[in-house]
Structure 1
Amino acid sequence: MDNKYTSKRIWLDKDKKAYEAWKSLITSANLQAEEHLDYTVGIYDERKLIATGSIAENIIKCVAVCKDYQSENLVNRIVTQLIEQLNEEGYFHYFLYTKPERETVFRSLGFKKIIANKDVLFMEQGPEDFSTYLYELQENKKTGQGAGIVMNANPFTKGHQYLVETAAQNNDQVYVFVLSEDHSEFSTDDRVKMVQAGVSHLENVTVFPTRKYLVSQATFPAYFLKDKAELAVAKTQATLDAQIFKEKIAPVLDIHVRYVGEEPYSKVTEVYNQAMQEVFGEALKLVILPRKAIEGDIISATKVRKAIAEEDEKLLLQLLPKTTYNYLKKNF
């Protein structure tokens, strides 16, 4: 029985010795030692850390068991404790990022597979799941072949608008997916409203949320770290994200092409573009448009945020569509 072992919370940022033991166990399990975790629990055989698991928001990560204790059913115990913690924090729908060989174990704990590849298995448990999301997409599908665009729009610029307008001119329908993660300067609600206003003149454009299923803390946490992200990790995550789009979302909406902007600034976004090219292959066309420039200067949301901070009205009027400019004036 595993009740001979003790469980306790590990404070990774405060207890250096505990952190080192945790990192050693994670590394031995061939997992990446994530730096941004909200809660970590450990199971100890006296003073030896033999199993661990963590949470980042509503995502279960870094579940590892020492190889000498693999037969002790400790994964169940760890995951049960993490789910109790999630429930306490008000989460009843949660995600799991793990190794593909662990699928049977986590299926037995009630998790459902969203997608897997040779490196990563992405699962979830709880109401309003992936099948619900796909059903919502299906319900709002329009007739004709579709194009897809995924954007953060932080905020929505003339560059984003150019991307959508180009797709709208060349396709029956365009589905714009706006990142649902609230990890940007502008809230999810504000970003969605700016996108909706900025594409309202285009009759064949539909705006969707991504929930946790595209470019999220669950599928692609490195995206939000930008320059601090380790590119090999970003590539693994970007590949998984691209797979979800190609294998699960594109077929539901009859999407045959995805549009992205060229990426001269962010290495992580460039890695994402490369991963999409590799994953999509011949099945799904990837169109990479050169960034829109004004007077030879490439438009970017980063430049817009800088102009907002510096109250550079002239530059904002150059970089932003009227809809975004008016929205920012009214609400900020």
Structure 2
Amino acid sequence: MLTLKRLWILRDAKDQNQWREFLKSGGLHPAEDATYTVGIYDNDELVATGSLSDNIIKYLLVCKRYQSENLLTQIIVHLIERLHEEDIFHYFVYTAPDKEVIFRSLGFKKIMSTKEVLFMEQGEPDFDDYLTYIDQFDHDGENGGIVMNANPFTLGHKYLVEQARKVCDHVYVFVVSEEKSEFSSPERFALVKEGLKEFDDVTVLPARDYMVSSLTFPAYFLKDRAELNIANVQAHLDATLFKERIAPVLHITKRFVGEEPYSKVTNVYNDAMKEVFRPDLSLTILPRLAINGEVVSATKVRQALQDHNEPLVQSFVPGTVLAYLKEKNKI
């Protein structure tokens, strides 16, 4: 007899081990981000599973022997009901491309897919609404795009924008919206906007769920704890979404990033962008800004804040950021 029950993978070692082994048998590699997980059992054997990571449906797998039993639909419907119970009505799925028909039948819309990954959503405001929102800021010409987390905004970030301005008619700076940083999304967005307000040819926009997020590129937030082959798959999805759906709306023909000597995941991302963007979109990787022989980075600023090293913070961030840090007693 088949029964559906919750798996307490964060509390019960047996549940977690069984779930992990089952996913690995299907070629899936779970990270530590599942907030709710269910499984369908045939007696004591786990034969199907699915999880939520906040409002993302993921880690869907059905044992091959049971794929005629409609178990995947049962799992998905249960997870959607769980989301509705929590008053969440805008949600996403990150899964294999062969599951598109099932999700379409349940009302999901495709945002993007690659040969390895399918990215869909249901609810509002959706990706079409986001494209309509950014379209109002469109400028004709040869425009540039930069995506930054800016945790916090530094002179290095500003330097990247200044270099892009030299070769672009207009520059769009997308600030990562994900709440996985020491500085909150509203803080980071406000600091970037304030730090760039002197430039009439620069527009600062939120990335929302569609650039470097837990949806498009979850490995980014794991940094060097991420498996690089998984990061590569996610990076290709993120880069493809930017190239095919976002860049055309704003006539972006150039993307700019800073060189990354330390993070393997960021290097994987840069390599994926190079591969995906050709020939429609150019990628410029700029050397990091150095001040007094030391490379500027947000990581160093955060460490300096912890160490109460005001001189380093002062030398690495714009005056607008320094004023904010002092106002909030962060330094």
TM range (shorter): over 0.9
- Deviation of 1:142 after TM superposition, in Å, equals 2.3
Alignment check: 8 A CA contact 2:97 2:117 kept: yes
Q: 1:201-253 CA deviation, whole Å, 9 max, x = no partner?
A: 10011111111101000111110011211111111111110001101100010
Aligned to 1:188: 185
- Determine the C-alpha separation between the residues in 2 that align with 1:167 and 1:88: 46
Taking structure 2 as the reference length, the TM-score comes to: 0.97
- Determine the C-alpha separation between the residues in 1 that align with 2:259 and 2:35: 34
Aligned to 2:215: 218
Q: Which amino acid aligns with 2:79?
A: L
Pick one of 85, 89, 99 that aligns with 2:96: 99
Pick one of 141, 144, 147 that aligns with 1:147: 144
- Deviation of 1:178 after TM superposition, in Å, equals 0.1
Q: 1:40-93 CA deviation, whole Å, 9 max, x = no partner?
A: 001112222111100111100001111111111111110111111112223111
- Deviation of 1:37 after TM superposition, in Å, equals 0.8
- Determine the C-alpha separation between the residues in 2 that align with 1:221 and 1:192: 20
Aligned length: 329
Tell me whether 1:89 sits opposite 2:86 in the alignment.
Answer: yes
State the secondary structure of the residue aligned to 1:43: strand
State the secondary structure of the residue aligned to 2:9: coil
Aligned to 2:26: 29
- Determine the C-alpha separation between the residues in 2 that align with 1:33 and 1:174: 37
- 1:214-253 maps to which residues of 2 (within 5 A)? 214-253=211-250
- Determine the C-alpha separation between the residues in 1 that align with 2:282 and 2:140: 19
Aligned to 1:109: 106
Alignment check: 8 A CA contact 1:25 1:65 kept: no
Alignment check: 8 A CA contact 1:50 1:69 kept: yes
- 1:48-127 maps to which residues of 2 (within 5 A)? 48-127=45-124
Q: Report percent identity of matched pairs.
A: 55
Q: Which amino acid aligns with 1:123?
A: M
When the two chains are superposed, the root-mean-square deviation of aligned CA atoms in Å is 1.1
Q: Which amino acid aligns with 1:117?
A: T
- Determine the C-alpha separation between the residues in 2 that align with 1:62 and 1:278: 27
Alignment check: 8 A CA contact 2:152 2:183 kept: yes
Q: Which runs of 5+ in 2 are unaligned?
A: none
Aligned to 1:329: 326
- Determine the C-alpha separation between the residues in 2 that align with 1:30 and 1:309: 41
Q: 1:143-198 CA deviation, whole Å, 9 max, x = no partner?
A: 32210000000000000000011112221110000000010000000000110011
- Deviation of 1:315 after TM superposition, in Å, equals 1.0
Tell me whether 1:270 sits opposite 2:267 in the alignment.
Answer: yes
